Amino acid sequence: MKELAHFKDPGNPKISVALAGINKLDWINICESKTIKDASQIMSAYKFDVLPIINKDNSYSHYYTTIRWSDYSTGNIIKKEIDASNTLYYLTSIEDAINKFDSSKSNYFFLDNLSETVGLITIGNLNCKHVYLYLYNLIIQLEHKMGEYIYNNGVSDNTLIKLFENRTESNNGKDALFRYNEDNKKGYDYTFIEYLYLTDLVYIFKNLGFLEHLNLTASKLDKMIHRINAIRLVVAHPNKSLIVDDTSTTKLNEAIKNIDVLMNLMNHQI
């Protein structure tokens, strides 16, 4: 039946740069007959570091941009051509776009459909809700996979509970154990692992010998999880920004790659 595809959808949202960016019908532009002084006034008023120039035929081939970000003085604004070096295909995945932002150290890319410019994405657009939901979903997938890996290796809830009863250094671990025991008294049929945080899952991996199976050292896993957890703390509290300085895209890209590495390692072992 045609409805089956919806029942079998894995629920892994993939978003494109078009969803995170702005289309050319919604952006503010400047006519090609206007001067840099005119551009400076518009860019200063709207805090724009990129201002597309619309041609007489309503196409786009050039734009104004600031040399130093957030400095809108005329001496800091230059006119540039839209070309392959500053363009992405509009259906490029957000993951690939983040990688491109990181590797190029660019703050923006125009979006095209292989024949014309149709939009724009800047690093500021990475703070949108669509990117937050995409990243949160990635992290949830990682946590689920780690839980699945633990149980598939024959670890029971009783083993985990005993492990955490002897754990003293983590308030999160104590809280998880308390909540599990309280819910268990009420007859709730939840597995213990559902109460654990990402760092608790890492604790299990370290203490039950899984690192050797995955060819990981404790220090390497700690470094990977540190990057991932830093992103998790932001996307779980959307009032915080993902992009705060010129290192943000690198940290974001590293976290995504670390999730991919860990998922692949566990998939290979299961």
Please report, in angstroms and rounded to a whole number, the separation of the first and last CA atoms in the chain.
Answer: 31
What's this model's pTM, rounded to 2 decimal places? Answer: 0.90
Going by their DSSP bridges, the two strands 50-54 and 30-31 should be labelled as parallel
Beginning with the edge strand found earlier in the chain, give each strand of the sheet holding 50-54 in spatial order.
30-31, 50-54, 60-66, 77-81
- The DSSP call for residue 93 is B
Same domain, residue pair 139 and 111 = no
CA distance 263 to 1: 32
Closest CA to 204 of 269, 143, 255, 138: 143
Residue 228 sits in the same domain as residue 244:
yes
Strand order in the sheet with 87-89: 22-23, 117-122, 108-112, 87-89
Beta carbons within 8 Å of 23's beta carbon, 6+ residues apart: 118, 119
The rounded radius of gyration (Å) of the Cα atoms in the chain is: 24
- C-beta of residue 30 within 8 angstroms of C-beta of residue 49: no
d(CA 220, CA 71): 40
What is the tally of structural domains in the chain? 2
> Are residues 56 and 101 both part of a single domain?
yes
Quick one: 223 and 193 in the same domain? yes
Q: Could you tell me if 167 and 233 lie in one domain?
A: yes
Please identify, among 60, 92, 126, the residue that sits at the C-terminal boundary of a domain: 126
Sequence letter at residue 150? I
Q: Indicate whether 141 and 265 sit together in one domain.
A: yes
Domain boundary among 94, 126, 158: 126
Per-residue confidence (pLDDT) for residue 10, from 0 to 100: 66
Q: Please list the pLDDT of the chain residue by residue as tens digits (270 residues).
A: 566 766 676 666 789 999 999 999 999 999 999 999 999 999 999 999 999 999 999 999 999 999 999 999 999 999 999 999 999 999 999 999 999 999 999 999 999 999 999 999 999 999 999 999 999 999 999 999 999 999 999 999 999 999 999 988 888 889 999 999 999 999 998 999 999 999 999 999 999 999 999 999 999 999 999 999 999 999 988 788 999 998 999 999 999 999 999 999 999 875
Query: Are 119 and 146 members of one domain?
Result: no
Same domain, 134 and 252: yes
* Same-domain pairing of 117 and 209: no
Instruction: Say whether both 55 and 175 belong to one domain.
Output: no
Are the C-beta atoms of residues 30 and 42 closer than 8 Å to each other? yes
Please name the residues in contact with 31: beta carbons below 8 A apart, sequence gap of 6 or more. 53, 54
Q: Residue 12's pLDDT is what?
A: 66
CATH code for the domain of 96: 3.10.580.10
Distance of alpha carbon 22 from alpha carbon 90, whole angstroms: 10
- The residue range of the domain holding 53 is 4-126
State how far the alpha carbon of 167 is from the alpha carbons of 128, 192, 226, in Å: 39, 15, 21
Do 21 and 116 fall within a single domain?
Answer: yes
For position 270, what pLDDT does the model report?
57
Using alpha carbons, list the distances in angstroms from residue 247 to 117, 179, 232, 243.
28, 38, 17, 8
135 residue type, one letter: L
